Amino acid sequence: MPVRTLAGGHDAQELLAAKGDTVVTVVVPARDEEATVGDVVSGIRRAWVDRVPLVDELVVLDSDSTDATAAVAAAAGATVHAAADVRPDLGPARGKGEALWKSLHVTRGDVLVFVDADLVEWDVGFVSGLLAPLLTDPTVALVKAVYDRPLLDAAGHEAETGGRVTELVARPLLALHRPDLAGLVQPLAGEWAVRRSVFERFSVPVGYGVEIAAVLDTAAALGADAVAQVDLGRRAHRHHRHDTLGPMAVQVLSAVERRVGRAAERPDTAVLVQYERGPSGFEARPRDVDLAERPPAVSTPGYPGGAR
């Protein structure tokens, strides 16, 4: 059965009625996003906290930023937590997955909606679109965004279609290992929503493997039918250079391999060697890539409702 694809564009009052007493948390992970995090936070705040009270908590997880991300996010109306300051007793780790995992420890939502902080084209309907299936259909556990993804050049002009790691790594891996999930158009979308009761039971890659891991773990635990996707229109974001997409690809590959029964015993670091032409020919630029995973939040001592 193909992955369920749902339309966005919901009536706000109907969603509010469907929400009832479900607590909804929006989490924005951000590392050095002072240029864009303010618009993301203030847009969500105006639409879904002030005008329609669909969102109960709006939280930015500041992921080791060295710029003014935290101050900008707080001024825009978010509750800001520095990821490194959340449960420091659990040891240090860095990365996007770490920020999302730490968010479980400082929020109370029954449903968590994740929205990237680097968006330059987006719509507040992303939040309601992702929430709707979870508020209205108890069989849905995780919802991914689907959208057109332009690849913008340095001047902001549309060059071609984006999502290079998605198209060259993530979707091919699904085709090989989980063809029942191959209908997911944007398996790496940074905009997704999940039930806490599900996400808190998964081990979470600290880096960019977090999205593909959550999809695979949800399908393994509850069946592919528990994963849905919603068409949200169009989204544009800041692009990485190819040399930082390489480590991202390694993290996505590792998260998948661990979940299809390979590489379970792999060390938590890999070295990706990239090459640049220098004065003496091609010079090696080795990069350490962090493949570590956090254990299920529910298993960490002190987690509310978890082991103590």
Ligand X SMILES: O=c1ccn([C@@H]2O[C@H](COP(=O)(O)OP(=O)(O)O[C@H]3O[C@H](CO)[C@@H](O)[C@H](O)[C@H]3O)[C@@H](O)[C@H]2O)c(=O)[nH]1
Ligand Y SMILES: O=C(O)[C@H](O)COP(=O)(O)O
What residues form DSSP beta bridges with 4?
228
CA distance between the termini of the chain: 40
Distance, in Å, from the CA atom of 86 to the CA atom of 93, rounded to the nearest integer, reads 11
CB of 94 to ligand X, least distance (A): 6
Partner whose binding site includes residue 95, from ligand Y, ligand X, none (CB under 5 to 8 Å by kind): ligand X
By C-alpha distance, which of 11, 49, 227, 26 is closest to 110? 26
Distance, in Å, from the CA atom of 263 to the CA atom of 254, rounded to the nearest integer, reads 8
Cα–Cα distances (Å) from 287 to 7, 101, 183, 213, 242, in that order, read: 41, 24, 33, 22, 14
DSSP state of 113: E
Residue of this chain nearest to ligand X (CB atom): 190
**Continuous segment of H or E residues that includes residue 119:** strand 119-121
Q: Please select the residue that binds ligand X; options are 26, 80, 112, 117, rule is CB under 6 A.
A: 117
Choices 13-21, 133-141, 196-204, 238-246 (CB under 6 A): range interacting with ligand Y: 238-246
Is 29 a residue that touches ligand X (CB under 6 A)? yes
Q: Which is nearer to ligand X, 131 or 206 (CB)?
A: 206
The pair phi, psi for residue 188, each rounded to 5°, is -100, 5
CB 163 within 8 A of CB 251: no
Is 187 a residue that touches ligand Y (CB under 6 A)? no
DSSP state of 143: E
Pick out residues in 182-221 that bind ligand X (CB under 6 A).
Answer: 188, 190, 208, 211
Is 107 a residue that touches ligand X (CB under 6 A)? no
Partner whose binding site includes residue 149, from ligand X, ligand Y, none (CB under 5 to 8 Å by kind): ligand Y
Choices 116-124, 151-159, 216-224, 257-265 (CB under 6 A): range interacting with ligand X: 116-124
CB 119 within 8 A of CB 193: no
Is 19 a residue that touches ligand Y (CB under 6 A)? no
Partner whose binding site includes residue 116, from ligand X, ligand Y, none (CB under 5 to 8 Å by kind): ligand X
CB of 178 to ligand Y, least distance (A): 18
Partner whose binding site includes residue 217, from ligand X, ligand Y, none (CB under 5 to 8 Å by kind): none
Taking every pair of C-alpha atoms in the chain, what is the biggest distance, in angstroms? 67
CB of 248 to ligand Y, least distance (A): 7
Choices 23-31, 70-78, 137-145, 149-157 (CB under 6 A): range interacting with ligand X: 23-31
Distance, in Å, from the CA atom of 14 to the CA atom of 53, rounded to the nearest integer, reads 12
Is 80 a residue that touches ligand X (CB under 6 A)? no
DSSP state of 175: H
By C-alpha distance, which of 141, 194, 196 is closest to 306? 196
Helix, strand, coil tally for the chain in percent (to 5):
40, 25, 35
Q: Which residue has the tokens 């962090």?
A: 290
Is 164 a residue that touches ligand Y (CB under 6 A)? yes
Is 33 a residue that touches ligand X (CB under 6 A)? yes
Choices 105-113, 156-164, 259-267, 289-297 (CB under 6 A): range interacting with ligand Y: 156-164
Choices 17-25, 108-116, 161-169, 298-306 (CB under 6 A): range interacting with ligand Y: 161-169
Positions that interact with ligand X (CB under 6 A) = 29-31, 33, 63, 94-96, 99, 116-118, 165, 188, 190, 208, 211, 237, 240, 248, 252
Positions that interact with ligand Y (CB under 6 A) = 149, 151, 162-166, 188, 239-240, 245
